[in-house]
Amino acid sequence: MLPKIMTMVIFSMDQNLKNNSLSKILSIKKLMNVDKPIETANGLPNECYTSEQYLEYERGKIFCDKWTVIGAASSLPNIGEARPYNLLGIPLMIVRDRDLNIRVFHNVCSHRGFKLIDKPCTLKNVIRCPYHSWSYDFKGNLVATPHIGGLNIHNSDQFKKNQSNLKEVKSKVWMDIIFVNINSNEIEFEDYIKPLEDRWSKFINHNDQKLLVHSNDYGYFNLEVKSNWKFAIENYCESYHLPTIHPELNKVSDINDHYHIEGLPNRFAGQGSEKYEQPVKGNKKFDTFKNWDKKSLKNSEYIALFPNVMIGLHVDHFYVFWLEPLATNKTKEHMQMYYVGDKSANGEELKELRKENVRFWKDVMREDINAIEGMQAGRGSPVYNGGNFSPVMDSPTHQFHKWVANSLI
């Protein structure tokens, strides 16, 4: 066991090495300014939104070290269904196994590194590499190695199959959202999600979570935006922009009806409203969560769970809005919509209501695109210092900036 003073020296050296690596990309001083009290803090520096070198660094410190969202389990309902996912150059594969569990693997054959799948598919019996037909079961075990010992010799005493299984990624499904921790060095998922579950316990408990059903007809859409992924999170965290960006929404629920949600050190932030009204068409409306606090029926909460997922909880529906970073200035936004029970999610009599509900949220998201693409364009300015924050209106956004900055250093 190392003496305490030596451990401290090694830790200090490690921190310095990290800082030296990052300091080649951006000013550490500017980054540390983010952590100041909101009255004097600056936002993240321009390089965090424009630099290719920074994006590569961020991939490791944010997307590989942290719990990151890569999809929805309901998009793979059947045994053998598989989808590729590219996490900023890291090829991954999501598979529904024979026990109906979701598994995530590195999408690469253990033999010669060939990419196993390149589009969504339904696997019959195995995951077969197109190159030499090495094959894996749905749990990632190598089960077939054709001709490995020569023509028609499919096994070899010199080769141990169990040493060449697919590399599985640590993953967890929560409320249909697929989370991964690629470097397996994050806190356990149960500890990561507990603060949010505790917060929402007066709205939705574990039994209510099981009632969520994904809508098959109007349950998904995606948008591509010319913006860094972080701008979508920053914008989602605050209600300050409602009057200018969402004038119609502001008529229904204005700034004064909203409250801040600040979760640090618990990795989430956002806003809530006290003016939610259930959508109604004639005398039809969606079913509601049975255990929702009766005094809070008009409450809805919109939380960004760091790093890349935004969720909206209402008494009658739930949405997941997750981000797929594509480049420094390009992001794909995925929206998944859920309701309480299959009648609300897929029943014919509520189809038009579902259509209108999704149209409403899609319009809101499209309005936000102008804001986040505008911020991206502005980050080309050499005189912009990361900006300032409103001490009253911007605290959730500042919380996200602080989380990013501290994750980097």
Number of domains in the chain: 2
Q: What was the pLDDT predicted at 17?
A: 46
Peptide bond into 396 cis (omega under 30): no
The strand pairing partners of 300, in sequence order, are 273
Mean pLDDT within 28-33: 94
Say which residue the tokens 């505790």 belong to: 198
Average pLDDT of the chain?
92
Q: What was the pLDDT predicted at 323?
A: 98
C-alpha span between 212 and 345 (Å, rounded): 8
Q: Residues 240, 270: one domain?
A: yes
What DSSP state is assigned to residue 398?
H
Determine the structural domain holding residue 364 and report its residue range.
188-408
- Report how far apart, in Å, the C-alpha atoms of 274 and of each of 201, 296, 299 are: 17, 8, 4
C-alpha span between 374 and 379 (Å, rounded): 9
pLDDT tier, 157 (very low <50, low <70, confident <90, very high otherwise): confident
- Return the closest-CA partner of residue 31 out of 396, 391, 385: 385
What DSSP state is assigned to residue 158?
T
Q: What was the pLDDT predicted at 9?
A: 41
Q: What was the pLDDT predicted at 199?
A: 95
Please report whether residue 120 resides in a domain. yes
Burial class (CB in 10 A: 0-12, 13-18, 19+), 220: middle
C-alpha span between 256 and 238 (Å, rounded): 12
Q: How many Cα neighbours within 13 Å face the side chain of 224?
A: 4
Domain-terminating residue out of 172, 207, 225:
172
Question: What does the pLDDT look like over 320-368, one tens digit per residue?
Answer: 999 999 999 999 999 999 999 999 999 999 999 999 999 999 999 999 9
Question: What does the pLDDT look like over 108-145, one tens digit per residue?
Answer: 999 999 999 999 999 999 999 999 999 999 999 999 99
pTM, full prediction: 0.92
pLDDT tier, 16 (very low <50, low <70, confident <90, very high otherwise): low
Angle at 131 between CA 125 and CA 135, to 5 degrees: 25
Q: Residues 168, 198: one domain?
A: no
C-alpha span between 221 and 364 (Å, rounded): 13
- CATH code assigned at 113: 2.102.10.10
Q: Residues 146, 213: one domain?
A: no
For residue 71, the SS3 value is strand
- Return the closest-CA partner of residue 310 out of 320, 299, 300: 320
Mean pLDDT within 204-214: 94
Please report whether residue 16 resides in a domain. no
- What DSSP letter does each residue of 206-240 carry, written as one string? HHHHTTEEE-SSSSEEEEEESS-HHHHHHHHH-ST
Write down how long the chain is: 409
- CATH code assigned at 348: 3.90.380.10
**Residue 185: other Cβ atoms inside 10 A:** 10
Q: Residues 390, 249: one domain?
A: yes
Q: What was the pLDDT predicted at 249?
A: 74
Q: What was the pLDDT predicted at 254?
A: 73
The strand pairing partners of 272, in sequence order, are 259, 301
- Return the closest-CA partner of residue 252 out of 261, 243, 264: 243
Please report whether residue 277 resides in a domain. yes
Q: Residues 228, 134: one domain?
A: no
Q: Residues 398, 318: one domain?
A: yes
pLDDT tier, 252 (very low <50, low <70, confident <90, very high otherwise): low
Q: Residues 265, 355: one domain?
A: yes
Statement: residue 10 has pLDDT above 80: no
Statement: residue 318 has pLDDT above 50: yes
Q: Residues 91, 209: one domain?
A: no
Please report whether residue 65 resides in a domain. no
Q: Residues 214, 344: one domain?
A: yes
Please report whether residue 332 resides in a domain. yes
Peptide bond into 265 cis (omega under 30): yes
Q: What was the pLDDT predicted at 72?
A: 98
Domain-terminating residue out of 125, 147, 172:
172
Q: What was the pLDDT predicted at 257?
A: 85
Q: Residues 331, 236: one domain?
A: yes
Q: What was the pLDDT predicted at 180?
A: 98
Q: How far apart are the first and last CA of the chain?
A: 26
